[in-house]
Amino acid sequence: MSFTYKETEEKIKKYYESLRVIGGLKHRLEIYKRRKADIERKIENSVIKLADNFGAVSYDGVGGGSGVKISPQEKAVDKAFSLLEKNLEEVKVEMFFIEEQMKNIEMDNSDMEYILKEIKPEYKEIIDYIYKNKSGTLKASVNLHLGRATIYRKKDEVIKDIMKWLNYYSRKT
């Protein structure tokens, strides 16, 4: 596959957008980790609040009923622990999916990440201003103390440079 200028620019945009997505996923993962720790702490410390309006267990009964009698309190405790364990499993599954999603994005970004480390620092700075910060060329020119035409020219140069790298890697694989 041979990358065009437009495809290269889209790949750069996608790379920086995926960095924002990874940031959001990391935040969600931290929330789930706190939630998991909270559930584990509740299970470990047996922090379960029960209502105090349970009736007593009747052990009288004639005939062939089941031999096991469970009090309403025991049933409530079992139900509460089952619910906590179910929530813990759901949290673990969600954490797994988030981690997998992050790994997939990082794998997709690996080539672009390497390329951006190899280009000139001034090119990287221009690309960061335009695509990472979502600034226009005017804002980039003011912040980098360069003329707007210079920013346009250097942006074209860096995109063409990245395009060469991408085309080189696409032939290798």
| Cα 15-20-26 angle, rounded to 5 deg | 120
- What amino acid occupies position 69? K
State both tokens at 84: 């906590």
Total residue count of the chain as it appears in this document: 173
Report if pTM > 0.75. Answer: no
Torsion, Cα 15 127 172 19, to 10 degrees, reads -20
State both tokens at 99: 């981690």
pLDDT in tens, 20-34: 999 999 999 999 999
> How much of the chain, in percent, has pLDDT values that exceed 90?
48
pLDDT in tens, 115-163: 999 998 989 999 998 998 888 888 888 888 889 899 999 999 999 999 9
Per-residue pLDDT, 66: 56
Is residue 127 within a helix (H) or strand (E), and if so which, with residue range? helix 121-127
* C-beta of residue 155 within 8 angstroms of C-beta of residue 125: no
| Predicted confidence (pLDDT) at residue 71 exceeds the cutoff of 80 | no
> How far apart are the C-alpha atoms of 16 and 27, rounded to whole Å?
17
Which is higher by pLDDT, 14 or 55? Answer: 14
pLDDT, averaged across the chain: 86
> How much of the chain, in percent, has pLDDT values that exceed 70?
85
